[in-house]
Copies of this chain bind each other. A is one copy, B any other.
Amino acid sequence: MIIHLEDNITQNEKDVLLNKLKELQIKTNLVSTQFMDYIIGMPKTDFDIRTIGNLRGIADIHRVSDAYKLVSKKWKVNDTLIDLGDDVTIGGSELAIMAGPCSIEGEEQIENTVQHLLKNNIKIMRGGVYKPRSSPYAFRGMGMDGLKLFYKHCSENGIKVITEVMQVSQVEEMVDYVDIFQVGARNSQNFNLLDILGKVDKPIMIKRGMSGTIEELLASAEYVFSNGNEKILLCERGIRTYESAYRNTLDLNAIPILKEKSHLPVIVDPSHGIGLRQHVATMALAGVMCGADGVIVEVHENPEKAFSDGQQTLYYRQAEKLYQKLKTTEELMKEF
C-alpha cells in the first residue's frame, strides 16, 4: 500500500496517521523524495482502506500487490520523465541516445568524441572512469582526473555525462561531475550503493544484474526510490546463458515487460547485449522496436585501440548510420 501524502500535511496530521497505522499493526516506511512524501504500508492481512481514508493529509491511497511498490505502474500509470536540464529529457516522446567509449582514456579522446556527438546531435556521452574488471591486473580507469576532464568538455558543449559509480565513497566526489550515475551489472544488488544513490538528486541508471531477474531489477530501483530519489532509469544489457556464440543474451523480452510493470524509462545496451560490433546496430534498433526509451552504445574513434571492450565498440561511421536508423525507427514507433 502506498499512501501518497499531501504537500501541506502537518507534522501533527502525519503523527495521527502513523499512530493509526501502528495501531492497525501495519509496518510502515516513510519515504520523502525530491517530489513527494509517501508512506509505504505493509498490512499483514487484508485491510479496509476506509479505516484510514478519512484521515487528514492523505492525497491518495494505492494498493500495490507487487513486491516492489513505488516503481510499480500499478499506482503511477504515467511514464516517468527524467529531465536532465537544457532540454535533454529521457522517457518522453523522444528517443534518448547515449554514446561514447567504454573507458575514458584521455583528453584528446574526450574532445574527439564530443565532436562526434555534436556533429550528430547526440546529447548524452557515456564513458567509464571507474571500471569493474575481473582481473586485478587490468586497467581500472582514470578515476576522478578522468571524470573532471570528461565533465569539463561535455558541459562546455551542452552534453550530459553518464558514468559508472562503483562504491559508496565515490558518490560524494563524483556528484558534481555527473549528470547520470550508472550502476553496473555487477553492482545491481549492491544495496548499500543503491541506498546512498537514493539520497542524491541525480538520475540513476541501474543495469540489470548478470543473471538478475526482472523482479530483482525493479526491487533494486525500489531501493533508490524509497531512499528519496525518483529519478531512475532501468537498463537491459543482456543476461548470462549457456550460449557462447556472443557475449551476453540480450533479453529484449524484458523491455515490454519492464514497461508494463513500471513507470520508469527503459534503456537498452546493445553493445554489452551482444558484444559483437557487427551486430550492435541491429540489436539497438530491435531494442527501440521493443519500446526502449533510449539506447546506450559504445563508440570510439579507433575501437581496435580502445583500452577495453573494443570488439563491441562502433566506429564513428557505423555509429552515424545507426543514429540515422534510430531516428527513422523512432518515427515509425510513433505511428504505431
Contact = CB atoms under 8 A, between A and B. Distances in A.
Nearest to A185: B189
Contacts of A223: 136
B219 A191 contact: no
A235 B278 CA distance: 21
A243 B227 contact: no
Given A328-B335, A329-B332, A278 B260 contact: yes
A226 B137 CA distance: 9
A51 interface: no
20 contacts: A42-B137, A68-B135, A134-B219, A136-B227, A166-B191, A168-B169, A169-B192, A186-B189, A190-B190, A210-B212, A215-B245, A240-B242, A241-B251, A245-B253, A253-B283, A256-B278, A257-B276, A260-B278, A260-B279, A332-B332
A187 B209 CA distance: 12
A25 interface: no
Number of chain A interface residues as a range? 35 or more
Contacts of A286: 252, 286-287, 289-290
A322 B76 CA distance: 28
Nearest to A321: B336
A21 interface: no
Contact of A213 (B135, B214, B244, B290): B244
Given A189-B134, A256-B283, A214 B251 contact: no
A6 interface: no
Nearest to A137: B29
Contact of A243 (B67, B213, B219, B250): B213
Nearest to A193: B167
Contacts of A222: 135-136
A213 B227 contact: no
